[in-house]
Amino acid sequence: MYEYISGKIAQITPAYAIIENNGIGYFLNISLFTYEALKDKSEVRLFVHEHIREDAYSLYGFAETRERELFQMLISVSGIGANTARMMLSSMSPDELQIAISTENVNQIKSIKGIGLKTAQRLIVELKDKIGKASDGQNILMPQDNTKAEEALSALVMLGFSKAPSQKTIDKILKDNPNSKVEEIIKLALKML
């Protein structure tokens, strides 16, 4: 029913945003990916997914239509509810999640809180073809050389940093500087973490 809601951010946390539009405050559940896109803004437009159950009526907001489409694909899989899908999109960016599904990376999907082996396998089986069709024509960066990222991540984890934030930082560094050496990646990540 709702396509998007535009307005001022009345309140924002990593889990939700309250958007004020014409004197009405809309409570929208958001992912960390959307939070990162919104946190420095005062006026926003969030694309909406209405989630209606017998006991609840919830709105989920997304900074991009692509993230909303991926969320809708995720909740179409048996065993994955709206909150689990939001957790998945908070743990990985839409691009990372699409790559993990299309490359059948069960371990990466399984590393998300609340996702077990069977759910990860079911997710890949049900969405691999859909993800491939949805990503046609979109520029998704496929990892060319994972060994640099894996070595840098391993080093950061051994230094005591948490795996998920370290992975996101490394991915950002490699996106900006794809030819970085492992040492450079680690040095930049240490400054950013």
Domain boundary among 12, 35, 62: 62
Under 8 Å between Cβ of 49 and 60: yes
Task: Look at residue 140 in the predicted model and tell me its pLDDT.
Answer: 45
Residue 179 lies in a domain: yes
DSSP bridge partners of 49? 60
Mark whether 157 and 103 lie in a shared domain. Answer: no
Q: Which residues neighbour 154 within 8 Å (Cβ) at sequence distance 6 or greater?
A: none
Task: Look at residue 160 in the predicted model and tell me its pLDDT.
Answer: 80
Domain boundary among 86, 111, 135: 135
Residue 140 lies in a domain: no
CATH number where 152 lies: 1.10.8.10
Residue 158 lies in a domain: yes
> What gap in Å lies between CA 19 and CA 45, rounded to an integer?
9
Digit-by-digit pLDDT tens for the chain (193 residues) are 789 999 999 999 999 999 999 999 999 999 999 999 998 899 999 999 999 988 889 999 999 999 999 999 999 998 899 999 999 999 988 988 998 898 889 999 988 888 999 999 999 999 988 886 655 444 444 444 567 788 888 878 877 888 888 888 888 888 888 888 888 888 888 888 7
Task: Look at residue 177 in the predicted model and tell me its pLDDT.
Answer: 83
Residue 141 lies in a domain: no
Mark whether 118 and 94 lie in a shared domain. Answer: yes
Residue 38 lies in a domain: yes
Report the candidate in 167, 104, 91 with the shortest Cα–Cα distance to residue 132.
Answer: 104
Mark whether 119 and 84 lie in a shared domain. Answer: yes
CATH number where 31 lies: 2.40.50.140
Mark whether 71 and 48 lie in a shared domain. Answer: no
Mark whether 54 and 73 lie in a shared domain. Answer: no
Mark whether 35 and 72 lie in a shared domain. Answer: no
The range of the structural domain enclosing residue 106 comes to 66-135
Task: Look at residue 138 in the predicted model and tell me its pLDDT.
Answer: 47
- The total number of structural domains in the chain stands at 3
